[in-house]
Amino acid sequence: MRRFLLTIAKVILIGIASVLGVIVGLNAWILTDTYSYVYSDAEQIPFNAVGMVLGTSKMTRSGNPNQHFVTRMDATAELFHKGKIQHIILSGDNMTRYYDEPKAMKAELLLRGVPEYSMTLDTAGFRTFDSVVRLKQVFGVTSCTIISEKYHVHRAVFISRHHDLNAIAYAADDVPFFYGIRSRSREILARVKAVLDLYLLETKPVSAG
């Protein structure tokens, strides 16, 4: 009986190690494959006529300002005012009349001096995959600068380039580590899901047509 239990334990440990190995391997693939396309210096990033900022909520569940939202808006306005992008697609979720990420982003960018005519709202960016694929399939964009935090943009660029979208990314200032630890943790599994979407599930974006 003891030998049987030891065998079961070994099988379980091997299974766990294999899963962790796959997760680490796929994350490493995405990060290394997109490393050269991610910029953190606004002076060095090449020009693109179109930029896309990935949506997030303006406020946290506790009612406080969401620092992810603030850093993305700051980074987007910075690129625009430095002449690194000319038009901005604001892609996010508007699940209800009371929750509208693109509309909230537009309001904040107006406050930062970005003119309304330079912005287009994509209200079906329910997740990063949808935002990125719709950029080409719906809006006809073939080259763009994606804006979000560094931990996030690698996956977005990976998906973009798989769909023949010539994308680079500008990494907004990262929020403090412990503030963003949940988002960073989710991103590890989101990268695995991205590979499954692209190479196994052949996932389609929402409202691609």
pLDDT by residue for the chain (209 residues), tens only, comes to 777 667 777 878 888 888 899 999 999 999 999 999 999 999 999 999 999 999 988 888 888 889 999 999 999 999 999 999 999 999 988 766 667 899 999 999 999 999 999 999 998 888 899 999 999 889 999 999 999 999 999 999 999 999 999 999 999 887 776 666 888 889 999 999 999 999 988 777 766 44
Domains and CATH numbers, the chain: 2-201 (3.40.50.620)
Q: Residues near 170 by Cβ (< 8 Å), separated by ≥ 6?
A: 39, 40, 42, 45, 51, 75, 79, 84, 145, 146, 147, 153
